[in-house]
Structure 1
Amino acid sequence: MKGNPNKRNRNKYFRFHKDHGHGTNECFDLKQQIENLIRQGKLRNFLRRDNKDEKLKGKVEKSSSRPPLGEIRVIIGRDSMGQSSKSRKTYLKVVQNVQLSRRSPRTKNTDKQAITFTDEDAERIHHPHDNAIVITLLIANYTTRRVLVDNGSSADILYYPAFQQMRVGRDILHLMNSPLVGFGGMKVQLVGTVTLPVVVGAYPQQVTKDVNFLVVDCSSSCNAIIKRPTLNNWKVITSIYHQSVKFPTGYGVGQVQGNQLAARECYLAMLAMDE
Structure 2
Amino acid sequence: MQIKDEGTLTFPGKLKSDPSKRPQDKYCRFHRDHDHDTADCYDLKQQIEALIKQGKLQKFVSKKRTDLNRQEPAPRRDNQRPRPSIGDIRMIVGGTAAIGSSKKARKTYLRSVLNVQLTGSTPNTARVESPIIGFTEEDARRLHHPHDDALVVSIRVGEYNVHRVLIDNDSSADILYYPAVQQMGMDRARLIPMSAPLVGFGGIKVFPIGSITLSVTVGDYPRELTRNVMFLMVDCSSAYNGILERPTLNSWKAATSTYHLMIKFPTDYGIGELRGNQVTARECYIAMIEMEDHH
Whether 1:106 and 2:133 are equivalent positions in the alignment is: no
Q: Distance in 2 between matches of 1:122 and 1:87?
A: 42
Q: Which range moves more in the overlay, 91-100 or 229-238?
A: 91-100
**AA at the equivalent of 2:124:** P
Whether 1:223 and 2:241 are equivalent positions in the alignment is: yes
**AA at the equivalent of 2:226:** T
Which of residues 164, 167, 178 in structure 1 aligns to 2:182?
164
Q: Choose between structure 1 and 2: higher strand proportion.
A: 1
Q: Distance in 2 between matches of 1:191 and 1:93?
A: 29
SS in 2 for 1:148: strand
Equivalence map 1:254-273=2 (5 Å): 254-273=272-291
Q: Distance in 2 between matches of 1:185 and 1:206?
A: 37
Partner of 1:81: 99
Q: Distance in 1 between matches of 2:222 and 2:125?
A: 23
- Measured after TM superposition, the shift of residue 174 of structure 1 is 2.1
Which of residues 249, 258, 261 in structure 2 aligns to 1:243?
261
Partner of 2:232: 214
Whether 1:173 and 2:191 are equivalent positions in the alignment is: yes
- Measured after TM superposition, the shift of residue 164 of structure 1 is 0.3
Q: Distance in 2 between matches of 1:155 and 1:199?
A: 18
SS in 2 for 1:127: coil
Q: Distance in 1 between matches of 2:205 and 2:106?
A: 27
The root-mean-square deviation of aligned C-alpha atoms, in Å, is: 2.6
Any conservation in 1 of the 2:101–2:196 contact (CA below 8 Å)?
no
Q: 1:238 to 1:178 in 2, by over 3 A?
A: closer
Q: Distance in 1 between matches of 2:197 and 2:256?
A: 30
SS in 1 for 2:225: strand
The answer for unaligned runs of 5 or more in structure 1 is 1-74
- Measured after TM superposition, the shift of residue 238 of structure 1 is 0.4
Equivalence map 1:144-155=2 (5 Å): 144-155=162-173
Partner of 1:204: 222
- Measured after TM superposition, the shift of residue 200 of structure 1 is 1.4
Q: Distance in 2 between matches of 1:163 and 1:189?
A: 17
Any conservation in 2 of the 1:188–1:217 contact (CA below 8 Å)?
no
Q: 1:94 to 1:214 in 2, by over 3 A?
A: closer
Q: 1:116 to 1:185 in 2, by over 3 A?
A: closer
Any conservation in 2 of the 1:188–1:218 contact (CA below 8 Å)?
no
Q: Distance in 2 between matches of 1:205 and 1:225?
A: 22
SS in 2 for 1:129: coil
- Measured after TM superposition, the shift of residue 181 of structure 1 is 4.1
SS in 1 for 2:149: coil
Percent identity over the alignment is 53
Q: Distance in 2 between matches of 1:76 and 1:170?
A: 22
Partner of 1:27: none
What's the TM-score once normalised by structure 1's chain length?
0.65
What's the TM-score once normalised by structure 2's chain length?
0.61
The answer for unaligned runs of 5 or more in structure 2 is 1-92
**AA at the equivalent of 1:210:** N
SS in 2 for 1:194: strand
- Measured after TM superposition, the shift of residue 176 of structure 1 is 4.7
Q: Distance in 1 between matches of 2:270 and 2:215?
A: 21
Q: Distance in 1 between matches of 2:112 and 2:194?
A: 32
